[in-house]
Amino acid sequence: MKRLLAAVGLCLIASSPVASTQARAESFITVLTGGTSGVYYPLGVALSNIYGKALPGAKVTAQATKASVENLNLLQAGRGEIGFTLGDSLGDAWKGNEEAGFKSKLDKLRTIAAIYPNYIQVVASKESGIRTLADLKGKRVSVGAPKSGTELNARAIFGAAGLTYKDFAKTEYLPFGESVDLIKNRQLDATLISAGLGVAAIKDLSSSQEVTIVSIPAEVVQKVGDDAYIAETVPANTYPGQTEAVPTAAVRNLLVSHSGVSDEAAYAMTRTLFENLDALAAAHVAAKQIKLDPAATRSPVPLHPGAIRFYKEKGLM
């Protein structure tokens, strides 16, 4: 009888809120970010710190990756709980676009939140003479890591402007930091960087030499033919020496999880994200554009049920 009562007691404890908290305390949360010279990484590190404090005992880590495409494939495989991605990459993953880096439909992906926009920033050394997209012909250009979200953006924007990689004297597939280093060493003329405003790599480059932020006209953005792309502007003085606003394109970023993450965990991650926007903004200025409004619920893939619960509580759904 004592053993039976003890067993019943354990069952009651296991179903209690305290036990639920203890279960969360033993969970692992891996935040999939991007390259260390981009925006995903500092925001991902900040988000992991926030989760580590708000979810007591949870083992939280931030993992540097090649960003969007790798993050989505890792989430589909259950090798991460939340990750950053570009909206167009997410749409390609849901469709199973092999050309974009997805061998089949990634049907386990579930959205946590749509966050800030990625600005597609084409940066050229002043001495290269590049002033327009057409001027990139015959120049040495880096388009981002192969099949990364940035490189997919490069294909779309250059294609809409009537350019192909064959038009360049040399095409490099490099992350932000390495691209900037080559421009500094005069081994590269320009690079396309897709990230939030205030990219550390561009700040570093424009602090060491004169650069041109190349305009992406609204008509080019429209020719992309993808609703994920919108016309935007890089405000004046975003970077050293950039005294005028520059028209460009933007694609919204999202935080994504997968169906294997419990509703409770997804709810906690969504709620904690929006309760700590000030801490994220302190990590990078791009996070100042994250808002709790209906736009946060928009995504090319379904929302996680845990995220839906949060948005319903806030009256957004």
Say which residue, 57 or 61, is predicted with more confidence: 61
- Judge whether residue 299 has pLDDT over 60: yes
Q: What pLDDT does 33 receive?
A: 97
- Could you give the residue range(s) of every CATH 3.40.190.10 domain in the chain? 26-116+253-313, 118-251
Distance, in Å, from the CA atom of 290 to the CA atom of 292, rounded to the nearest integer, reads 7
How far out from the chain centre does Cα 201 lie?
A: 16
* Residues above pLDDT 90, as percent of the chain: 82
Contact residues for 83 (Cβ-Cβ < 8 A; gap 6+): 31, 32, 33, 65, 71, 72, 74, 75, 255, 256, 257
157-181 residue pLDDT tens: 999 999 999 999 999 999 999 999 9
137-162 residue pLDDT tens: 999 999 998 888 899 999 999 999 99
Distance, in Å, from the CA atom of 2 to the CA atom of 171, rounded to the nearest integer, reads 75
CA distances from 35 to 61, 278, 288 (A): 15, 23, 21
Q: What pLDDT does 145 receive?
A: 87
205-238 residue pLDDT tens: 999 999 999 999 999 999 998 888 999 999 999 9
Distance, in Å, from the CA atom of 190 to the CA atom of 212, rounded to the nearest integer, reads 9
Q: What average pLDDT does this structure show over 240-263?
A: 96
Cβ contact 191:151 at 8 Å: no
Contact residues for 303 (Cβ-Cβ < 8 A; gap 6+): 110, 111, 112, 297, 311
88-97 residue pLDDT tens: 999 999 999 9
Identify which of 49, 183, 174, 34 has the alpha carbon closest to the alpha carbon of residue 118: 34
Q: What pLDDT does 25 receive?
A: 38
pLDDT band at 38 (very low <50, low <70, confident <90, very high): confident
Q: Tell me, what DSSP letter sits at residue 198?
A: S
- Judge whether residue 12 has pLDDT over 70: no
- Judge whether residue 251 has pLDDT over 90: yes
Contact residues for 46 (Cβ-Cβ < 8 A; gap 6+): 279, 280, 282, 283, 284, 287
3 state DSSP class of 56: coil
Element (H, E) at 312: helix 305-313
Say which residue, 13 or 190, is predicted with more confidence: 190
- Judge whether residue 6 has pLDDT over 90: no
* Interaxial angle between packed helices 176-184 and 200-208, expressed in degrees from 0 to 180 and rounded to the nearest 10: 10
Distance, in Å, from the CA atom of 260 to the CA atom of 257, rounded to the nearest integer, reads 8
Q: What pLDDT does 56 receive?
A: 83
Tell me which CATH code domain 118-251 carries: 3.40.190.10
Architecture of the domain defined by 26-116+253-313? 3-Layer(aba) Sandwich (3.40)
Within 10 Å of residue 258's Cβ, how many Cβ atoms? Answer: 23
Contact residues for 96 (Cβ-Cβ < 8 A; gap 6+): 102, 103, 104, 105, 106
Q: What pLDDT does 147 receive?
A: 80
Q: What pLDDT does 226 receive?
A: 85
Pair of tokens at residue 212: 């041109």
**In this structure, which amino acid lies at residue 170?**
K
Distance, in Å, from the CA atom of 18 to the CA atom of 149, rounded to the nearest integer, reads 41
Contact residues for 53 (Cβ-Cβ < 8 A; gap 6+): none
